[in-house]
Amino acid sequence: MSTSPNRSGAAVGGGPGRTSGGGPRPAPRRALHRARAWLPGLLLVSPSILLIGVFVYGMIGWNLRLALSDKHAPIQEGEFVGLVNFVALWQEARWPAAVGNAVVFTVVFVGGALVLGWLLGLLLDKGIRGEPVFRTLFLAPMAVSFIATGVVWRWLMNPAPAERATGLNALFVHFNLDFLVNDWWTAPDLGMAAMALPAIWQLAGYIMALFLAGFRGVPEELREAARVDGCSEWGVYRHVVMPQLRPVLLSAVIILGHMSLKVFDLIIAIAGQQIVADVPAVYMWAMVFEVRDPAKGATIASYLLFAVALFVVPYLVWTVRKERSEGR
Amino acid sequence: MSVQSAPDRVTAPGGRAAGTTRRGQAVRFAVLFALAVLFLLPMYVLLVTGFKPFAEATAARAWSPPQTWSTEGWAAAWEALSSGLRNSVAVAVPSAAVSAVLGSMNGFVMARWRFPGADTVFTLFLFGMFIPYQAVMIPLQQMLVGANLMGGVFPLILAHTVYGIPICTLIFRNYYASIPRTLIEAARVDGAGMLRTYASVVLPVSAPAFAVTLIWQFTSAWNDFLFAVFLTGPNSWPVTVQLNNVAGSMVVPYNQQMAAAVLASLPTLVVYLVLGRYFMRGLMAGALKG
C-alpha cells in the first residue's frame, strides 16, 4: 500500500468535503481512503472480537450442539438427535421441580430486593445524618461472595428445633416469638422464599444505590415546579420522581433477573445439593460431575441461556440504539 | 409547602432544600437505624462466633458474645485457607489487569475511533456480560482438556480475563464518551494515528476508569465460585472453593467456619471500604448507566 500524501484527510473521515481538481476520485480509492480511517480501530479491537467470538459465541454454539446430541457419557461420540433432550428433560421429576424452585426464588428475590432497595433509597434521598455510614453499610454485602454469605446465613437459617437451634430460630425462642420459628429453606413448599433472604440481603444495597442515583438525577427545578403547583411531598415523588425512574427500575429488574436465573453459589453454600433446594444450575452441576452426562448438562445450560436471552437481548438492543440516537 | 413548616426545614447535603420536617427526619432516621441493625446481624454473628473458643461455639450460646476471646478459630481458618488465598490473588490480579487493558482499547475505539458495525459488535460484547456462564462451561472445560491446559490456575485466569472483557469495555466506552470529541479530532488533524492518539491523549486521563475496572474485576474474580469449581483441581482451588469445603463439612466447628468466611471476604471488603467510590462506579456501570 502506498503512503497517502494526506494522512489527516483520511483520518477526519474523507466524506463529502472532497477537494476540487481533476474531478471525483475513482470509487475504490475513496473506499480505501475511508477504510484507512477506521481500520486501525477495528484492528485494535480484533483481539477482543476474536476472544469473545470464540469464548462466548463459539462456546455457546458448541454447547448447543452438545445439547442436540446423544453424548450421554464423556467417552461417547454423540450423534445429532434434535430436540430430544430438550423434551426429555420435562419428563423427569427433578427438572420441573427445579424450575419451580427457581421461579419462587426469582419472584421473592427480585421483588424483595426491589422493594427494600427502593425503600432504602427513598429514606436516604433527602440526606440524613450519617448518610455515608448508612450507604456504606447497606452496600457492604455486595462486596462479599455468595459462598461467604451462604456460610453465615446457613447458620442464621438453621432449621434445627429449639434446644439445638442456632441462628434466628434461637433468637425467636429467646424473645418468646416461637410462632416465628420455622424450617427456613428446608420447608418443602416455600423454602425457596427463605433461600431468597440472603440474596436480598446481599443485593438490596445495590438497588438502593441505583435508586439513589436515580432520585438525585431528577432536577430539583422539576420537583420545585410540582411543589409550586401544590403537590404534596409524596405527590412530588408519586407524579414527578417515580416516572423518571423507569429506566433505573428496568435495569434493576434485568440485573436481578439474570442473577436469579443462574443462582448457584448461594444454593450450594447453604443447602449443598439437597433436592428440596434444587435449581437448574445445581441440577446441571450434578449432571456434569456426578452423572457425567454432557448432553444433559448442556441441555440445562441451554435452557438457562434462553431464559436469560429472552429478556436481555431486547433490552440490550434497545439500550444501545437509544444511546446512539442520543448521540453518545 | 405550608408556611408554618418553614422553620423546620432542613437543608440536605449538597444544598438542596429538603421538604421534610424535623420529625419526618427523625422517623426516617429511626427506620434506617433499625434496618441497619438487621443488616448488621450476619456480620455480628461472623465476628462473635469467629472469636469463640471451640467449646463455646454451640447452639446454647449462639448469640452471646464470647466469654473468653480466642483466636483458635482464626488460626485454624488460616491453616485451611492460606493456599486458596494465594491462588485467588494469583488469579484475580492478572485477569483484572489484562481485561482492563483490553477493555480500555475496546472502549476507546467504540467511543471515539469507530468502525462500521461498531454498535453491533458492542451489543454482541455486552451480551457476553449477561450470559449465564453455565452455557459455556462444558465446552470451555472440554477445550482446555483437549488443549492440555487444565491444571494450575491458568484456566481460571483465562476465563476471568475473557469474560471480563464485556464489562471493562462498557466501563471504558462510557468513560471515554465523556472525553471531548474535539480533543480527539484535533489530534487526528495534527496527524496523530490511532495508537498515538490513544497513547498520548486518551491513556493519560484513564486512571479513574482503570481504577473502576480493576476493582470490579478483582472483586468478581475473587468472589467467583462456578468457574473455580469447573476449571480447577485441589491444588489450584481459590479461596471460595476452600471456604465452601470447610463450611460444607459437618465436623468443622462454627467458630472456624465463621472465621474462614471473614478471612475469605477481607480482601474485597477492604477494597470496598478503602476505594468505595470506584467500587460504586463499577456497580453503576454494570447497570449500563455511564
B187-226: per-residue pLDDT in tens? 888 888 889 999 989 999 999 999 999 999 999 999 999 9
The answer to whether residues B52 and B62 touch, using CB atoms and an 8 Å cutoff, is no
Query: Concatenated DSSP letters for B130-150?
Result: HS-THHHHHHHHHHHHHTT--
- Which chain A residues are Cβ-neighbours of B142 within 8 angstroms? 62, 294
**How is residue B249 written as a grid cell?**
463439612
Whether residue A291 has pLDDT greater than 60: yes
What is the pLDDT confidence band of residue A18, given thresholds at 50, 70 and 90? very low
- Quote the CA–CA distance of A294 and B260 in Å, as a whole number: 34
Q: What is the pLDDT of residue B289?
A: 45
Q: How confident is the model at residue A128 (pLDDT cuts 50, 70, 90)?
A: confident
Within 10 Å of residue A103's Cβ, how many Cβ atoms? Answer: 14
Burial class (CB in 10 A: 0-12, 13-18, 19+), A43: middle
Please tell me chain A's helix, strand, coil percentages from 3-state DSSP, rounded to the nearest 5: 75, 0, 25
Q: According to the model, what pLDDT value does residue B88 have?
A: 97
Beta strand B10-11 pairing with B17-18: antiparallel
ipTM for this prediction? 0.89
- Which candidate from A42, A143, A281 shows the least CB-CB separation from B269? A143
Spatial separation of the C-alpha atoms in residues A14 and A8, rounded to whole Å: 9
In sequence order, the 6+-apart residues with CB closer than 8 A to the CB of A317 are B123
Neighbour tally for B16: CB within 10 Å: 15
* B142-191 pLDDT, tens digit each: 999 999 999 899 999 999 999 999 999 999 999 999 889 888 888 888 88
Render pLDDT for B75-131 as a digit per residue (tens, 0 to 9).
999 999 999 999 999 999 999 999 999 999 999 999 998 999 999 999 999 999 999
The angle formed by the CA atoms of residues B168, B170 and B171, to the nearest 5 degrees, is 65
**Residue of chain B nearest A121, judged by CA positions:** B32
Buried b (16+ CB within 10 A) or exposed e, B54-74: eebbebebbbeebeeebebbb
Q: pLDDT over 90 for what percent of chain B?
A: 69
> Interhelix angle for B72-112 vs B154-176, to 10°?
50
**Residues 6 or more apart whose Cβ sits within 8 Å of residue A279:** A98, A101, A102, A105, A263, A264, A267
The 10s digit of each residue's pLDDT in B117-129 is: 999 999 999 999 9
Question: Coil, helix or strand for B66?
Answer: coil
- Closest approach of chain B CAs to the CA of A105, in angstroms? 17
- Angle, helix B254-274 to helix B276-286, in steps of 10 degrees: 90
- Do B193 and A166 make contact, defined as CB atoms within 8 angstroms? no
What local confidence, expressed as pLDDT, does residue B168 receive?
A: 96
pLDDT for residue B145: 93
Q: Distance, in angstroms, between A293 CA and closest chain B CA?
A: 11
Residue A36, pLDDT above cutoff 90: no
**A chain contacts of residue B195, beta-carbon cutoff 8 Å:** 40, 44
Q: Which of A3, A123, A37, A205 is nearest to B33 (CA)?
A: A123
Question: For residue B197, what is its C-alpha cell?
Answer: 492518539
Could you tell me the pTM of the whole model?
0.88
